Amino acid sequence: MVYAIVGLLLVPILTILILRYSIKRTTFCKSTRRLTGKTILITGGNCGIGREVALDLAKRGGRVIIACRNKERGRAAVEQIKLATNNQDVFFRILDLASLSSIRDFARDFNQEEARLDILINNAAYLGPKDVTADNFERTMGVNYIGHFLLFNLLLDKLKHSAPCRVVNVLSDSYGIGHIDTDDLNGSFVKYDSYSMYGTSKLAILLFTMEADKSFKDEGITSYAVHPGATNTSLLRNWPGVFGTVLRLVAMILFRSPVEGAQSIINTAVIGGIEEFSGKLFYDCKVIELDHKCSKQLYKASMLWKATEALCETNKPITQDEEKKEI
């Protein structure tokens, strides 16, 4: 009887320990490269994985700019990073990826006021209930993909001017369940499911990474996709109901810490000699094969680029908003 009870208790405990070990086992970035004289821009760097990346890059002496949508959260993160690193060259700028006009304002000011951009890290993300952006895009696609697509395009001249430079796009392994329909990027014609939409937004970023590599590698801009691994952050805060509560509990017990989740992103941003892997996906500080489930969708990369250009009017002059405001 005693053996049976001990056995019954041991099985779940061992399962949890094995799961925890396999999820949390992390390869840490070993590069000691300094970033003195380099400018780094990271979206959503005010908390979670992004803040740990910003902190590490600030430690390396870079000029770190956190793009975030909330002044108080931005200020708090900057103060914390300055205190921890003694690097005073850390700032935040307001950017709401759920608003094309905020992205345009941000890019206009950044282009005018910053001399260079050496590393762009597209990290911010939304995962949660159905919602729309200020421009009526489905929110997950709008923030995670369309917003970052427009941001990249509006900062392209600055990137070209600073070449060789890098773009690091933060993905999730959920891209494997994504489905791209270039005629319906908002998913209006499919039954809404927030995690599927999240997967689709991450697949879109993967295709964006591949297309950016094709188009701009020759001009010295290399692009990388990175999956940080399952990490205990506030990303799941918007997941509703009992399932959301259970998921957050599981994340606390099993998932990586934000420092662990940040490692592959830091590594891809700083390590030397990875240009030949531009356009590829990194996990645990190394290139990994793509999930075979998405292999039939990779041909859509250039169509997706064109469809997104049309959707967010990439070619619209960046000063137009300014003119509108003055009228």
Q: Which of 183, 181, 179, 210 is nearest to 197 (CA)?
A: 179
Task: Return the H-helix or E-strand segment holding 247.
Answer: helix 241-254
User: Using CB under 6 A, which residues numbered 32 to 51 contact ligand NAP?
Assistant: 43-44, 46-50
* 69 neighbors 47 (Cβ within 8 angstroms): no
Looking at the Cβ atoms of 259 and 303, the one nearer to ligand NAP is: 259
Is 283 one of the catalytic residues? no
Mapping DSSP onto H, E and C, the string for 166-215 reads: EEEEECCHHHHHCCCCCCCCCCCCCCCCHHHHHHHHHHHHHHHHHHHHHH
Q: Which of 78, 207, 230, 266 binds ligand NAP (CB under 6 A)?
A: 230
C-alpha span between 242 and 178 (Å, rounded): 25
Binding residues among 158-187 for ligand NAP as defined by CB under 6 A: 170, 172
What is the contact mask toward ligand NAP in residues 106 to 135, using x (rule: CB under 6 A)? -----------------xxxx---------
Instruction: Mark the segment that binds ligand NAP (CB under 6 A) among 67-75, 242-250, 282-290, 299-307.
Output: 67-75
- Kindly tell me which of 140 and 278 has the beta carbon lying closer to ligand NAP: 140
Report the residue from 35, 65, 95, 156 that binds ligand NAP according to the rule CB under 6 A: 95
d(CA 325, CA 321) in angstroms, rounded, equals 6
Of the residues 126, 145, 198, 224, only one is catalytic, namely 198
Residue of 233, 278, 297, 308 that binds ligand NAP (CB under 6 A):
233
256: number of CA atoms within 13 Å, CB side?
Answer: 23
The residues of the shown chain that bind ligand NAP, judged by CB under 6 A, are 43-44, 46-50, 68-70, 73, 95-98, 123-126, 143, 170, 172, 227-228, 230-231, 233-235, 255
